[in-house]
């Protein structure tokens, strides 16, 4: 086995030995023709032709005043941006042939960098497009192997690249069709939040005829999602501590459990002394919940109703307590709170309790190079290929992941307080200003959103910051030292041991939750120093195509200590 074959074997290549065997007769069938690697490379500014990419760029620097290499480094151009720049100059030269330029320069923000049509080669078989990456070392691993291979290996590479370029062009053309398809799926398979015109006003215990696929509710029919939630001890034990730690609230009361799932909250309520519990869910998991209740001999207290809370009728006019675990990523994802608020308006007695009844969405800044490497740098070299196009999805989609408390390098601030007994669904689309201050010097990679949940009554209980921290509630003021002795007033219920019941999903929590945190990754990290301020606006609203998804717009500025603007932030994220 020769050195080329050794290299292929060491790298675990999928190619067989015959594909690189110089004695393989199948190579004799190949004839130079349309797939032959072109070697002539035309200047970007004039008709001059060269034999290497290095010569092209040297000529451009010496004769046309444009240093391609320096421009790439100065503006941190990636592979695809370099392709767009080459094709822009090609098109420019085609439209005005043989015109010398006195001094061509770029700012790195030109519109053609955002125009994917410039990924399409202007010159057929433009050899420069396939050679310049060698000069700039865009794909080390691929070219280190290729440099050790024979000319025939290079031919295979060339053929593969031509196919890849054609595939990318087809992908661009198909992108619009894909979005239209996704729109069609959302319109036909996602459930509406509220009953449509002509919807039934009542649902009995028999399973209704399903006229169309109900994506959201059926996703909760699977066991794994309920297992994950039950094993989240922060979540489940907080509800247990609230319900069973306050039996005086539940003894003899009528309870409504919205989105009952496995029935765990209903069983907590029954065990705490509730007279009757109505457990509502529109997912098929409700049939398993009925079995769970029978197995625990609680079916005399718990009645199950399958259907949407917007449509059902209860055998009673009002209930004393509504319990529900409705929270989603970034608190509002999945829009289940809309259903809980509607249930409050329809069924809760005037002096009733909604539990939990106070939530708060918080925002902070984070620095986590390991996460950035995992989510972004990975795409720089995927088995020897650059996949920068995938990075756009990372910048567009809000990430759901867990940060360590050390990753947070700014103060935290509340961007939305939700006193659930007082608000309605219209308040769930919101726009809030925010201001956070850097507590460390470093790279700010993005913002992290999370929420705190409180179980409260109408009676005020005083907590200082230490007690709040023990409850899992993170301080939100800009300088904890200045307010350490201040009193925060929260109307918190206690568990059996007298400890207030509340929990956080933030990085400061003792244990991570299944909600994790929601991360908004900046396209460019911000270099911050202690006491620098990030000030801006966050807008959160339901997606127009699927209202269970969220569209989150973040606009802001990084200010230095003298309040001068250093950088601007303007990104839109989808939490789907």
C-alpha distances out from residue 245 to 23, 250, 501, Å: 81, 10, 9
d(CA 170, CA 394): 22
pLDDT at 415: 94
pLDDT at 145: 32
Q: Which of 334, 422, 529, 553 is catalytic?
A: 334
pLDDT at 229: 81
pLDDT at 361: 95
pLDDT at 291: 95
| 257, 277 Cβ separation under 8 angstroms | yes
Instruction: Divide the 576 residues of the chain into consecutive groups of 10 and give the mean pLDDT of each group.
Output: 35 37 40 51 90 87 87 86 91 73 79 88 84 60 36 48 60 57 49 40 37 44 72 89 89 95 95 96 92 95 94 95 93 89 95 89 95 89 90 90 95 92 92 96 96 70 43 43 35 55 87 92 94 96 89 95 92 93
Q: Which of 325, 392, 435, 470 is catalytic?
A: 325
pLDDT at 38: 55
CA angle 497, 501, 505 (to 5 degrees): 135
CA angle 496, 499, 500 (to 5 degrees): 110
Q: Residue 467 catalytic? A: no
| Beta-bridge mates of residue 277 | 255, 302
pLDDT at 304: 96
pLDDT at 124: 80
Q: How many helices (H) and strands (E) does the chain have?
A: 18, 19
Q: Residue 100 catalytic? A: no
Peptide bond into 331 cis (omega under 30): no
Task: Report DSSP letters for 470-508, one per residue.
Answer: HTTPPP-SS-HHHHTTSEEEEEE-B-TTS-B-EEE-STT
Q: How does 305-317 read in b/e, with b if 16+ C-beta sit within 10 Å?
A: bbbbbbebebeee
Enter the tokens of residue 338: 């809309």
Select from 316, 194, 195 the least CA-distant residue to 256: 316
């Amino acid at each position: 086995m020769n050195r080329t074959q050794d290299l292929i074997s060491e790298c675990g290549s999928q190619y067989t030995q015959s594909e690189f065997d110089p004695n393989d007769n199948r190579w004799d069938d190949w004839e130079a023709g349309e797939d032959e690697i072109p070697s002539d490379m035309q200047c970007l500014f004039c008709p001059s032709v060269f034999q290497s990419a290095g010569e092209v760029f040297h000529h451009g620097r010496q004769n046309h005043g444009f240093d391609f290499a320096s421009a790439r480094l100065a503006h941190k151009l990636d592979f695809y941006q370099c392709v767009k720049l080459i094709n822009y100059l090609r098109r420019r030269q085609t439209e005005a042939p043989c015109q010398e330029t006195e001094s061509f320069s770029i700012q790195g923000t030109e519109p053609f960098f955002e125009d994917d049509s410039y990924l399409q080669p202007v010159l057929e078989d433009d050899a420069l497009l396939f050679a310049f990456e060698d000069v700039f070392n865009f794909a080390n691993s691929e070219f280190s192997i290729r440099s050790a291979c024979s000319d025939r290996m290079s031919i295979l590479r060339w053929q593969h690249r031509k196919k890849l370029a054609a595939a990318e062009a087809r992908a661009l053309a198909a992108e619009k069709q894909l979005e239209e398809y996704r729109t069609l799926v959302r319109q036909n398979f996602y459930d509406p939040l509220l009953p449509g015109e002509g919807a039934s006003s009542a649902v009995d215990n028999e399973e209704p005829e399903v006229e169309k696929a109900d994506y959201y509710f059926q996703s909760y029919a699977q066991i794994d999602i309920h297992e994950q939630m039950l094993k989240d001890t922060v979540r489940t034990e907080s509800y247990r501590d609230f319900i069973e730690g306050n039996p005086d609230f539940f003894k003899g009361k009528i309870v409504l459990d919205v989105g009952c799932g496995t029935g765990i909250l209903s069983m907590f309520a029954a065990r705490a002394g509730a007279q009757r519990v109505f457990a509502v869910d529109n997912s098929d998991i409700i049939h398993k919940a009925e079995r769970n209740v029978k197995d625990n001999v609680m079916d005399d207290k718990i009645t199950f109703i399958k259907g949407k809370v917007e449509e059902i009728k209860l055998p009673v006019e009002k209930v004393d307590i509504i319990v529900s675990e409705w929270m989603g990523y970034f608190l509002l994802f999945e829009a289940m709170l809309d259903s809980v608020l509607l249930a409050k308006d329809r069924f809760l007695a005037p002096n009733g309790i909604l539990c939990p009844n106070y939530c708060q969405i918080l925002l902070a800044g984070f620095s986590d190079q390991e996460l950035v490497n995992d989510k972004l740098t990975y795409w720089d070299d995927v088995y020897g290929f650059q996949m920068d196009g995938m990075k756009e999805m990372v910048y567009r989609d809000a990430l759901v992941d867990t940060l360590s408390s050390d990753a947070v390098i700014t103060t935290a601030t509340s961007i939305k307080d939700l006193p659930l007994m007082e608000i309605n669904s219209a308040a769930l689309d919101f726009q809030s200003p925010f201001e956070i201050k850097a507590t460390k010097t470093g790279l700010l990679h993005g913002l992290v959103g999370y929420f705190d949940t409180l179980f409260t009554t109408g009676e005020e209980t005083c907590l200082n910051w230490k007690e709040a921290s023990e409850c899992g509630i993170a301080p939100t003021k800009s300088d904890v030292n200045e307010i350490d002795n201040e009193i925060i007033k929260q109307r918190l219920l206690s568990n059996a041991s007298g400890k207030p019941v509340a929990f956080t999903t933030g990085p400061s929590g003792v244990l991570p939750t299944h909600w994790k945190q929601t991360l908004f990754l900046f396209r460019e990290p911000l270099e911050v120093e202690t006491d620098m301020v990030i000030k801006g606006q966050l807008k959160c609203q339901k997606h127009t195509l699927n209202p269970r998804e969220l569209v989150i717009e973040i606009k802001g500025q990084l200010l230095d200590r003298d309040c001068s603007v250093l950088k601007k932030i303007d990104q839109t994220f989808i939490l789907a």
